[in-house]
């Protein structure tokens, strides 16, 4: 621990108070810088994960964003396909690695559009009899038969990476301020 010597006088105490305010201001700024650095890293990592995801069907409308309000910064994703990309769908989603907690309403192979392949479907598109599937139209209007998509876990993977780095970034920023005392 560093020792600071202060003359026992009004001027000495005022000087110490001024120095404390400078350090306090420096710590606030370091905290804001660390938060922004982590937010930018998180955004970049999520975007990288989305770009590396193998499965895309042309319907993806995912947007990664950063919003700052006061001292709080939020990194997130928007779009109608976000949950499908993150958690996967159908049999493929259920079998793939996914974030440990699912939204309460998220269910695999359930819903009014899920059907079970019959002999006719097997002949038409090659899905085995009894396989859960559904159809949708891609952006070109073509009918697509699917058993789901694997969980991409793009946000979850970014979160794990950033969590492992946040302590070092905070220590670097705060340490820079404290080293100047």
Backbone angles phi, psi at 76, to 5 degrees: -155, -175
At 5 the pLDDT is 85
Tell me the CB-side half-sphere exposure of residue 59, using CA atoms within 13 A: 16
Tell me the CB-side half-sphere exposure of residue 35, using CA atoms within 13 A: 16
Tell me how far apart the alpha carbons of residues 137 and 17 are, in angstroms, rounded to a whole number: 68
Tell me how far apart the alpha carbons of residues 160 and 165 are, in angstroms, rounded to a whole number: 9
At 161 the pLDDT is 92
Are 81 and 57 in contact by the 8 Å Cβ rule? The answer is no
Tell me how far apart the alpha carbons of residues 132 and 115 are, in angstroms, rounded to a whole number: 6
Q: What is the pTM of this model?
A: 0.77
At 149 the pLDDT is 86
Which residues are CB-contacts of 87 (< 8 A; sequence separation ≥ 6)?
A: 93, 98, 99, 102, 103, 106, 151, 153
At 39 the pLDDT is 94
Tell me how far apart the alpha carbons of residues 22 and 18 are, in angstroms, rounded to a whole number: 6
The tens-digit pLDDT sequence of the chain (181 residues) is 677 888 899 999 999 899 889 999 999 999 889 999 999 999 999 999 988 876 666 667 889 999 988 878 999 999 988 888 888 888 888 888 777 778 888 888 888 889 999 999 888 899 999 999 989 888 788 888 999 888 888 999 999 999 999 899 988 988 888 887 7
At 59 the pLDDT is 66
At 58 the pLDDT is 63
At 57 the pLDDT is 63
């Amino acid at each position: 621990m560093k020792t600071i010597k202060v003359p026992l006088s009004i001027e000495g105490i005022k000087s110490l108070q001024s120095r404390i305010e400078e350090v306090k201001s420096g710590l606030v700024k370091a905290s804001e810088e660390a938060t922004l650095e982590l937010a930018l890293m998180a955004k970049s990592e999520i975007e990288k994960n989305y770009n590396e995801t193998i499965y895309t069907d042309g319907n993806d409308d995912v947007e990664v964003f950063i919003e700052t309000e006061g001292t709080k910064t939020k990194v997130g994703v928007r779009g109608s396909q976000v949950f499908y990309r993150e958690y996967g769908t159908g049999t493929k989603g259920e079998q793939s690695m996914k974030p440990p907690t699912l939204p309460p309403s998220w269910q695999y192979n359930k819903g009014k559009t899920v059907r079970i392949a019959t002999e006719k479907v097997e002949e038409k598109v090659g899905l085995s009899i009894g396989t859960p599937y559904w159809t949708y139209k891609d952006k070109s209007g073509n009918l697509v038969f699917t058993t789901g998509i694997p969980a991409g876990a793009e946000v979850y993977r970014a979160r794990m990476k950033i969590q492992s780095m946040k302590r070092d970034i905070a220590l670097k920023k705060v340490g820079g301020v404290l080293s100047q005392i």
